[in-house]
Structure 1
Amino acid sequence: MKDAFGTPQSLLVLGGTSEIGLATARRLIARRTRTVWLAGRPSPALETAAAGLRALGAEVRTVAFDALDPVAHEEKLGKVFAEGDIDMVLLAFGVLGDQAHDEEQPLSAVRIAQTNYTGAVSAGLVCAKALQEQGHGSLVVLSSVAGERARRANFIYGSSKAGLDAFAQGLGDALHGTGVHVMVVRPGFVRSKMTTGLPEAPLATTPEAVAAAIETGLRRRSETVWVPGTMRFVMSALRHVPRPLFRRLPV
């Protein structure tokens, strides 16, 4: 259960090597989180991430999880929930892809869609059901401002995040009143391994800043969190730009 300050005592990170996921775990461990599950493909990177969190004083376990294997999601994630209640699930996996390459290789584009959307729908529903059965908990879904309006530069990634965002909002409505809180997080450009080598966009942020926004959102029981907060107004403006003009913008 969450403590008196609203901090989850147990955390499941789907995407156990995600920089945002690990930054969030570190921030919550520094508060009161004591049990962390890192779900991801078995790898030295996953074990290194777990060791780093253990060094902060948390009990950390890893679980084999692959977004592209939805058939196994119920079994793999069910074992986590069978160990005890989970106060917070952070859905943090996703791939950016390479727009130019993916347009030429449709199977690569499909893999992005399957990871970012299909895999997230499967894992999200499995976790939502488990949270509902235990009667409490938060499901935090990492979306993106890229999902607000498809742009020429990354419409494959953006469309997958648009689908995820809509799914998470609908899931939140479906779970309203059950004791389960769903929060959608929409970061802008995040300085991370995923974006290494890409031109930095305005209002760029960091995994640590996203983690801080997640913590604040949990405390406030927010339904939507923008990072940085000014992205809410930027994207609202872009959403209403006429399409012929939007095509000419350097976005």
Structure 2
Amino acid sequence: MKDAFGAPQSLLVLGGTSEIGLATARRLIGRRTRTVFLAGRPSPQLDAAAQSLRRLGATVTTVDFDALDPASHEVALGKVFAEGDIDMVLLAFGVLGDQARDEQDPLAAVHVAQVNYTGAVSAALVGATALQVQGHGSLVVLSSVAGERARRANFIYGSSKAGLDAFCQGLADAMHGSGVHVMTVRPGFVHTRMTEGLEPAPLSTTADEVAAAIELGLRRRSTTIWVPGTLRAVMSAIRHLPRPLFRRLPL
């Protein structure tokens, strides 16, 4: 159960090698979290991530999980929830893709959509249902400001996040009153391995800053958070720009 301050004592990270996921786990372990499950494909990277969290004092278990195999999600998450209550499920997996290449390769574009949207929909539904059965808990989903309005530079990735974002807003409403808190996280450009080599966008952020925003959002029981917060106003303005003007922006 969460403590009196709303901090989770147990955490399941779907996407166990995600830099944002691990930054969030480290931050929460520094507060009250003592039990962590890192779910991902078996790899030395997943094992190393688990060991790094154990050194911080948490009990960490790795779990086999494949976003591209929705048929296995119920069994994979079921094994975790069979161990006891989970206070927070963090959905932190996703791929950026390569826009120029993916436009010429429909299967590559579909891969982005399958990981970021269909795989996430499956995992989120399974996780939310398990939290609902136990009667409490938070489902935190990493979306992106890229989903606010499709841009020429990354509309394949952006459209996948737009779908996920809309899904999570509806899921939050569906879970209202059930004891399950659903929170959508909309970071801007985050300096991680996934964005390495790309030109940073204005108002870029870090994995640690996203983790801090997630912790604050948990305490406030927010349904949507922006990282950094100023992106809320910026994206509102961009979303309402007339399309001919929007096309002319270097986005």
Provide TM-score, normalisation by structure 1: 1.00
Partner of 1:179: 179
Query: After TM superposition, where is structure 1 displaced by more than 6 Å over at least 4 residues in a row?
Result: none
Corresponding position: 1:111 with 2:111: yes
**Aligned pairs (5 A) from 1:1-251:** 1-251=1-251
Describe the SS at the equivalent of 1:244: helix
Shift of 1:209: 0.1
Deviations for 1:162-208, whole angstroms, at most 9, x for unmatched residues?
00000011000000000000000000000000000000100000000
1:37 and 1:165 mapped to 2: Cα distance? 24
Q: Give, in whole Å, the separation in 1 of the partners of 2:148 and 2:196.
A: 23
Aligned-pair CA distance for 1:18: 0.2
Question: How far apart are residue 151 of structure 1 and its match?
Answer: 0.2
What CA deviation, in whole Å up to 9, does each residue of 1:227-247 have, x standing for no partner?
000000000000010001100
User: Which SS does the other structure have where 1:13 is aligned?
Assistant: strand
Tell me the CA shift for residue 6 of structure 1. Answer: 0.7
The C-alpha deviation readout for 1:34-93, integer Å capped at 9, x for no partner, is 000000000000000000000000000000000000010001110000110000000000
Give how far 1:159 is off.
0.1
Provide the C-alpha distance between the structure 2 equivalents of 1:67 and 1:127, rounded to a whole number of angstroms: 13
Letter matched to residue 129 of structure 1: T
- Mapped to 2, the partners of 1:73 and 1:182 lie a distance apart of 19
1:72 alignment partner, SS class: helix
Shift of 1:17: 0.2
Cα distance in 2 for partners of 1:119, 1:82 equals 22
Counterpart-to-counterpart distance in 1, 2:50 and 2:145: 29
| Fraction of identical pairs, as percent | 80
- Offset at 1:142? 0.3
Q: SS of 1:31's equivalent? A: coil
For residues 76 and 4 of structure 1, the distance between their equivalents in structure 2, rounded to whole angstroms, comes to: 30
Residue 147 of structure 1: how far off its partner (Å) = 0.1
Aligned length: 251
Shift of 1:152: 0.1
Q: Distance in 1 between matches of 2:166 and 2:241?
A: 21
Distance in 1 (alpha carbons) for counterparts of 2:75 and 2:2: 25
TM-score norm. by structure 2 comes to 1.00
Secondary structure of the corresponding residue to residue 11 of structure 1: strand
